[in-house]
Amino acid sequence: MAKSHASFVCQNCGAVAQRWQGRCESCGAWNSIVEESPSSGIGARAAQGARKGRVFGLSNLHEAEQPSPPRIMTGIGELDRVTGGGFVAGSVLLLGGEPGIGKSTLLIQACAALAGAGRRVVYISGEEAVDQIRLRALRLGLAAAPVELAAETSVEDIVATLSHGKRPSLVVIDSIQTMWTELIESTPGTVSQVRGAAQALIRFAKTAGAAVILVGHVTKDGQIAGPRVVEHMVDAVISFEGEGGRSFRILRAVKNRFGPTDEIGVFEMTGRGLAEVANPSALFLSSRDTSAPGAAVFAGMEGTRPLLVEVQALVAPSTLGTPRRAVVGWDNARLAMVVAVLEAHAGVKLGQYDIYLNVAGGLRVGEPAADLAAAAALVSSLSGISLAADSVYFGEIALSGAIRPVSHGMARLKEAAKLGFCRATIPQGAPEKGEAPAAVLSVQNCAHISGLVTGIAAGGGPPKRIPAVREN
């Protein structure tokens, strides 16, 4: 019999190496490679002795019975929106986030809401004792909720327990890294164990028809197996993010087989748990310094919801041979592009300056529509001219210097008007013909980047005002 060799698996990305290495060649993580026994990994049984295949029945696409899967709404609006309208029965969701961000808090709140509505909800913690969970629930004012609790880590025991009695609607496993299955020899927390445990729980979710939520800690040092290794196995991946020292948290769908992935949910961590933030624009703009140059308000979209956020730029003469370009919350490559377009088509010389760009509030903006706001912030910082405090910006900048229309122009303008903004600098042709902003809003259509620059040079406000448009 051939000698079975141990394999070396990166605990961060799951890549397999032939020998031990200090650094994973696949993901670049240091000290992440751990020796794992091949006879214990997934697929090991198949290799040991293949059995004859069973013949199963195939079904037809047009026979699909249920057009939409049954959903379990928690009543926590921000959470339900991100999941696409509630948890899906029989599906598995991975909630990832850094330790201490509030994953357990959010889930105990969701569990309490569902249990209060008469569903069977089970919360299994591999990290905290039952009393600790109770104390937390007490602090959150949820101690009376009939959530079933256990502190367990053996997946076989958990599945056996859950299979008894009434079928649970929701099962929370906190966290997947602490779970282990007897089928695999590796120590808990390794890639094989995390995968094996997740697989067993996924099988349980599908057969029992329960919604299962796996909590996964994301750590940067790669010591604990990243939940990334189970991302492809689960139905939805949701990440919970926040900025150090700030109290608000953003829930974001990364992958969702049953819903959209561009929705966000905004929460605030309070002394009594996570509170929903109904108006995130107001939150993100609340501590804004309206008189300082270098800040522009971007009227953005997060999924179906408009969201106003401040884009801040600092342009300062550089003492370095290669000026610094640092971006937080936006794309480096897009900043380089906007800077190049400003130089080439609007005569704004930024080559000798350090540039810092920041999206306020720890938000990450992925839309090209933020180009115009970033350009406005850059020009404002360079010139020292503050932008009008009641002005919003959106539009995509082309390499030619043209400003291109973006989608949802109307929703963006309405949100701006709702929050008391009076002016908007937007691309030509937006909003779509026949539509009008909900409130009085002076709209400046800007066709080219040079128009934006002359507008700012002329004193912050748009150079040419078009009379306000009213609805009806």
Q: How far is the CB of 217 from Mg ion (least distance, A)?
A: 8
103 contacts ligand TYD (rule: CB under 6 A) = yes
Alpha carbon distance 263, 330 (integer Å): 17
Q: How far is the CB of 178 from Mg ion (least distance, A)?
A: 10
Give the gyration radius of the chain's Cα atoms: 26
Q: Please list every residue from 243 through 302 that binds ligand TYD, using CB under 6 A.
A: 269, 271-273
Number of chain positions touching Mg ion (CB under 5 A) = 1
Q: How far is the CB of 264 from ligand TYD (least distance, A)?
A: 17
Complex with Mg ion: residue 39 or 270, whichever CB lies closer: 270
Give the count of alpha carbons within 13 A of 369, CB side only. 25
Complex with ligand TYD: residue 123 or 421, whichever CB lies closer: 123
Alpha carbon distance 357, 350 (integer Å): 13
Complex with Mg ion: residue 121 or 406, whichever CB lies closer: 121
Complex with Mg ion: residue 70 or 100, whichever CB lies closer: 100
Q: Point out which span in 86-94, 103-111, 151-159, 348-356 binds ligand TYD (CB under 6 A).
A: 103-111
CA 269 to chain CA centroid, Å, is: 17
Helix (H, G, I), strand (E, B), or coil: what is residue 249?
Answer: strand
Contact residues for 245 (Cβ-Cβ < 8 A; gap 6+): none
Complex with ligand TYD: residue 208 or 269, whichever CB lies closer: 269
Complex with ligand TYD: residue 246 or 470, whichever CB lies closer: 246
Q: Select from 102, 196, 265, 300 the one that contacts ligand TYD (CB under 6 A).
A: 102
Alpha carbon distance 204, 207 (integer Å): 5
- The runs of H, that is alpha helices, within 273-359 are 280-285, 332-346
CA 89 to chain CA centroid, Å, is: 22
> Among Mg ion, ligand TYD, none, what binds residue 269 when CB lies within 5 to 8 Å by partner kind?
ligand TYD
The DSSP secondary-structure symbol of 262 reads S
Complex with Mg ion: residue 217 or 305, whichever CB lies closer: 217
Q: Tell me how far apart the terminal alpha carbons of the chain are, to the nearest angstrom.
A: 83
Q: Select from 41, 84, 96, 97 the one that contacts ligand TYD (CB under 6 A).
A: 97
In the shown chain, the binding pattern of residues 137 to 156 toward ligand TYD, with x for contact by CB under 6 A and - for none, equals --xx----------------
In this structure, are residues 124 and 150 in contact, taking their beta carbons and an 8 Å threshold? Answer: yes
100 contacts ligand TYD (rule: CB under 6 A) = yes
CA 279 → CA 121, 275, 276, 289, 364, distances in Å? 30, 12, 9, 19, 17
396-397/403-404 β-pairing: antiparallel
Tokens of 469: 């448009």
104 contacts Mg ion (rule: CB under 5 A) = yes
> Among ligand TYD, Mg ion, none, what binds residue 271 when CB lies within 5 to 8 Å by partner kind?
ligand TYD
Specify the DSSP element, H or E, that contains 212: strand 211-217
104 contacts ligand TYD (rule: CB under 6 A) = yes
Number of chain positions touching ligand TYD (CB under 6 A) = 15
Q: Point out which span in 29-37, 103-111, 378-386, 448-456 binds Mg ion (CB under 5 A).
A: 103-111
Q: Point out which span in 50-58, 95-103, 302-310, 381-389 binds ligand TYD (CB under 6 A).
A: 95-103
> Among ligand TYD, Mg ion, none, what binds residue 105 when CB lies within 5 to 8 Å by partner kind?
ligand TYD
> Among ligand TYD, Mg ion, none, what binds residue 273 when CB lies within 5 to 8 Å by partner kind?
ligand TYD
186 contacts Mg ion (rule: CB under 5 A) = no
CB atoms within 10 A of CB 62: 5
The DSSP secondary-structure symbol of 318 reads -
Neighbour-count burial for 274-298, b at 16+ CB within 10 Å, e otherwise: bbebeebbebbbeebeeeebbbbbb
Neighbour-count burial for 70-93, b at 16+ CB within 10 Å, e otherwise: ebbebebebbbbbbbbbbbbbbbb
Q: How far is the CB of 120 from ligand TYD (least distance, A)?
A: 23
> Among ligand TYD, Mg ion, none, what binds residue 67 when CB lies within 5 to 8 Å by partner kind?
none
Helix (H, G, I), strand (E, B), or coil: what is residue 107?
Answer: helix
In this structure, are residues 281 and 287 in contact, taking their beta carbons and an 8 Å threshold? Answer: no
Q: How far is the CB of 179 from ligand TYD (least distance, A)?
A: 15
Complex with Mg ion: residue 104 or 445, whichever CB lies closer: 104
Complex with ligand TYD: residue 108 or 403, whichever CB lies closer: 108
Q: How far is the CB of 305 from ligand TYD (least distance, A)?
A: 24
Helix (H, G, I), strand (E, B), or coil: what is residue 361?
Answer: helix
Q: Using CB under 5 A, list all residues that contact Mg ion.
A: 104
Q: Using CB under 6 A, list all residues that contact ligand TYD.
A: 97, 99-105, 136, 139-140, 269, 271-273
